[in-house]
Chains A and B, each alone.
Chain A
Amino acid sequence: MEIRPILSALLRNKTGPLLVALQVALSLAILANATYIVNERRAVIARPSGLADEHSTFYIRARNLDSDGPEQRLATFKHEADLLRAVPGVASVAQVSQMPLSQSGWNTSLTLDPRQERQSATASMYLSSDSIVHTFGLRLVEGRDFLPGERLDRNEKDKAEPPPQIIVTRALADKLWPGVSAIGKTLYFGNNEISTPPRVIGVVEHLQTQSAQIDEKGEFSIVMPLQRYGDSRTMFAVRAEPGQRDRVMKEAESVLRKSAATPMILEMRTVDQDRKDRYRGDVALQWMLVTVSLLMLLITCCGIVGMASLWVTQRRKQIGVRRALGARKVDILRYFIVENFMITSAGVFGGAALGLALNQLLVSKLEMARLPAGYLAGGAILFWLIGVIAAYGPAWKAASISPATATRSV
């Protein structure tokens, strides 16, 4: 393994090897960071919303253009919900205040003690006097769902007080009461003093907020067995039987329109659509990163092949002389592979340093996360492999040079 001669030959003519090493370094630095970001986003997009069957769930934003009083409106909405339940293929219906991933809804700040200075957490509120646990298909890990007697319908003009029982998500329970069961614990909304603060009676495993924030806040939700009536607008969440969503959507819309005496404005949306809209930017970024990474690999590969071919052409006579003096084909092959390996190694080490520096820049300027060491290590191995494979073709061509070229004068 003739390292010294290769090294001194490289050092004699530095430009070419330096360029290749620089390309490898740049590619590795960018590729490692890009791959990490793609994986990170993938993890974010894959988070469960908590709904048992997202593909079968949809919701209807309904608005009656009537001028009824609040009690009449409540009765109309209850009647409409019953009509929806009667549609064949409907598994469950609930009148809800907001939907997860819809990017529209309400948040509230929570405290464990009304006198405390800072809020303990901010959570999203899902209000319904029907069973959200049943309609969304949420998984209860502790406690129970609300009893029929605990569900309240309240006029929106009445004083706004939280109901006596609430359900929270596991993430919120762990944040507010780490290590202990949340059942029976009380919460305060903001700094309002209430004589009977609401008590947790159940914990669900997952229920994302309407904004599905990237950090822990995306899982802080509260379900309240309360409905405020009086507004002309409402939202019905419907879970259909698997595979029947589209048909059920059409039937539900026509059933509602037929039932209304006054004109009705309906907007139908599916949870699938909401999920796509919420993560549209992340998916686009992923595609861009993947495309650019692949192009970079291609360009680096071409660069290595090009340079290696050039050197082979430049050193024809030298190779011929070596062969004439007794070098075997495999010796020439090994020479070029080792040379390429050394250049790639220089590039890989430079790339690792560059990658860390780039990551540091991303962390400080663009609020990205730190790169785990595995990505740089994996990238290094990838580029070593690429280097060897790319150099193999020209190296083999070099090995096939006949010794007779040494003796030719031209």
Chain B
Amino acid sequence: MFAYYFKLGLRSLRRNRALTALMVLTLAVGVAASISTLTILHAMSGDPIPEKSTRLLVPQMDNGQVDGWAPGEKPDDVQMTYQDALNLLKSGQGERRTVLFGTEMPLEPPRKDMPAFVSDGMAPTRDFFAMFNVPFIHGQTWSEADDARGADVVVLGRAMAEKLFGDADPVGRQIRLMGFPFTVTGVVDHWNLRPRYYKLIGGDTFGGADDFYIPFASAIRHEAGINGGMSCTTKREPGYAGMLASECTWLQFWFETRSSADRADLQGWLDRYVGEQRKLGRFKRNVPTHLYDVMAWMEELKIVGNDNKLSVWLAFGFLALCLVNTIGLLLAKFSVRASEIGVRRALGASRREIFSQFLIETGVVGLAGGVLGLALSFGALALIGMQGPEVAAMARMDWEMLGMTFLLSVAAAMLAGLLPTWRACQVTPAIQLKSQ
């Protein structure tokens, strides 16, 4: 009977056009608001690397001062000092490890017609590319020897490579960074994950892709400028060397373990490391260290802000209002068909049959609302995307959210339809069949 009821539902849509249009529109608007805000939330908080997200871990140690600090307060900064980063790199813990920081430096293109400009990039160690599954289109990352001695090599982002060299393979060519010639060893394909969970600190979480990657040791050797945040809680000597030797935190570190079970071992090692350093007079605050996996790290850094959550709540509140409105409209719609129901019941239809007929009818309304709601969602997302390119990249519908739209619309309509449908079942045939 499902197909028959479905056809009946479609036909009833046409019967009372004004009422139906109002119902479908109300539902569509509510669904559109909810889905568009949910899409943005989904894009911001989805797991960016599901195959590995429990194995990529960020260590966090609190090296702050004891003065002016009460136990239980959050650390001043979640980044790491240079000393600790070097020690962790040498430790050999985990299957792979990398330290990184954002940097900006003047780039002089090899083409004479293009003036120099300041470019944003990163200074990771070699393992970064393997750890985060970064795709290459030309060449590969630099060698271990280059990584260790800080050679002047660079991996370009695809957009930058195309800007400087067009479609040609730039491996082996040279560009000038910070006034020194750097040799290109590879080009990374379009890999612009938003949020940029691997470098969450230093702004630009939802911004453009990195233009270049140079070895960490090279950046240090050339005293590259930091494009991110730094927190210094003790006096430091002036100059770059002073900053490296100080307790200033400005680096981000990632471990990759072979399996999620290795996390406990890593935590143990980290605790022992901090214990040893404490004996040397560092880490005066006696707080435990933490390891964050990708999702926990995004949560800790509050990637999804309060405003996004507020938008989603508001949208669902709006949907609730639309549902209540729809209930009223459905009641009105079904009440005029009391005589039809009476006839069906008199001819032998059980209450359950009437229930399923009208529930399927509301499902059809929900489907129609879903189609219109989808169109409106695209419109709403386009409007939201007008804020700026960063938001526009998040405001994109994927297959999951598409399916979710129809699911939400049909479910909402059916929920709204429960009361009117139940009312319709209560119709007593005898009263309806009287000739008066």
Chain A residues at the B interface, C-beta cutoff of 8 Å: 15-16, 19-20, 22-23, 26-27, 29-30, 34, 37, 63, 65, 67, 103, 109, 116-119, 156-160, 190-192, 233, 263, 265, 267, 280-282, 284-285, 288-289, 292, 295-296, 299-300, 302-303, 306-307, 310, 358, 362, 365-368, 409
Contacts and interface: CB of A to CB of B under 8 A. Distances in A.
A159 B325 contact: no
A63 B306 contact: no
A30 B116 contact: no
B275 interface: no
A55 to B, nearest CB: 21
Given A26-B321, A263-B115, A280-B388, A366 B309 contact: yes
Given A37-B310, A63-B118, 11 more contacts: A15-B331, A26-B317, A34-B314, A116-B68, A192-B235, A288-B314, A292-B33, A292-B314, A299-B26, A299-B321, A302-B26
Contacts of A281: 305, 307, 387
B214 interface: no
B399 interface: no
A16 B391 CA distance: 42
B390 to A, nearest CB: 9
The residue in B305, B306, B419 that gathers the most chain A C-beta atoms within 10 A of its C-beta is B306
Contacts of A358: 317
A284 B314 CA distance: 14
Given A158-B238, A265-B117, A367 B68 contact: no
B49 to A, nearest CB: 26
A263 B108 CA distance: 9
B106 interface: yes
B294 interface: no
A-B residue pairs, 5 tightest by C-beta: A118-B68, A366-B306, A19-B328, A26-B321, A303-B325
17 contacts: A15-B419, A23-B324, A34-B314, A117-B67, A117-B68, A159-B238, A191-B67, A281-B387, A288-B311, A288-B314, A292-B318, A296-B321, A299-B29, A299-B322, A299-B325, A366-B306, A367-B306
A306 B328 contact: yes
A117 B70 CA distance: 10
Given A27-B321, A284-B387, A295 B29 contact: yes
Contacts of B238: 156-160
A65 B307 contact: no
Contacts of B324: 19, 22-23, 26, 303
Nearest to A277: B388
B384 interface: yes
B327 interface: yes
B163 to A, nearest CB: 16
The residue in B179, B317, B328, B388 that gathers the most chain A C-beta atoms within 10 A of its C-beta is B328
Nearest to B225: A233
B311 A16 contact: no
B329 interface: yes
B46 interface: no
B315 interface: yes
B268 interface: no
B318 A65 contact: no
Contacts of A267: 118
Contact residues of A: prevailing secondary structure:
helix
Contacts of B325: 23, 299-300, 302-303
A27 to B, nearest CB: 6
Contact residues of B: prevailing secondary structure:
helix
A103 B207 CA distance: 15
Interface of B: 22, 26, 29, 33, 65, 67-68, 106, 108, 115-118, 179, 203, 225, 233, 235, 238-239, 305-307, 309-311, 313-315, 317-318, 320-322, 324-325, 327-329, 331-332, 384, 387-388, 391, 419, 423, 436
A307 B306 contact: no
A175 to B, nearest CB: 16
A298 B264 CA distance: 57
Contact of B327 (A19, A119, A284, A296): A19
A365 B307 CA distance: 12
B318 A295 contact: yes
Contacts of B311: 285, 288
A263 B179 CA distance: 11
Contacts of B388: 280
The residue in A119, A233, A296, A362 that gathers the most chain B C-beta atoms within 10 A of its C-beta is A296
A351 to B, nearest CB: 11
Contact of B179 (A26, A34, A67, A192): A67
A296 B306 contact: no
The residue in A20, A158, A302, A368 that gathers the most chain B C-beta atoms within 10 A of its C-beta is A302
A307 B179 CA distance: 75
Given A117-B67, A362-B310, A65 B321 contact: no
Contacts of B423: 15
Given A160-B238, A362-B310, A23 B116 contact: no
Nearest to A115: B67
A233 to B, nearest CB: 8
Contacts of B116: 65, 263, 265
B108 A65 contact: yes
Given A26-B321, A284-B384, A292-B315, A16 B310 contact: no
B118 A285 contact: no
A280 B389 CA distance: 12
A307 to B, nearest CB: 6
B107 to A, nearest CB: 9
A359 to B, nearest CB: 12
Nearest to A109: B68
Given A292-B33, A310-B332, A285 B310 contact: yes
A280 B206 CA distance: 14
B314 A289 contact: yes
Contacts of A289: 314
A324 B307 CA distance: 59
Nearest to A117: B68
Contacts of A296: 318, 321
B74 to A, nearest CB: 14
B288 to A, nearest CB: 23
Contacts of B322: 299
B179 A23 contact: no
A20 B332 CA distance: 13
A190 B67 CA distance: 10
A19 B388 CA distance: 40
A120 to B, nearest CB: 10
A333 B235 CA distance: 80
Contact of A306 (B108, B235, B332, B436): B332
Contacts of A368: 306, 310
A191 B64 CA distance: 13
A310 B318 CA distance: 24
Contacts of B328: 16, 19-20, 23, 303, 306-307
Contacts of B225: 233
A293 to B, nearest CB: 9
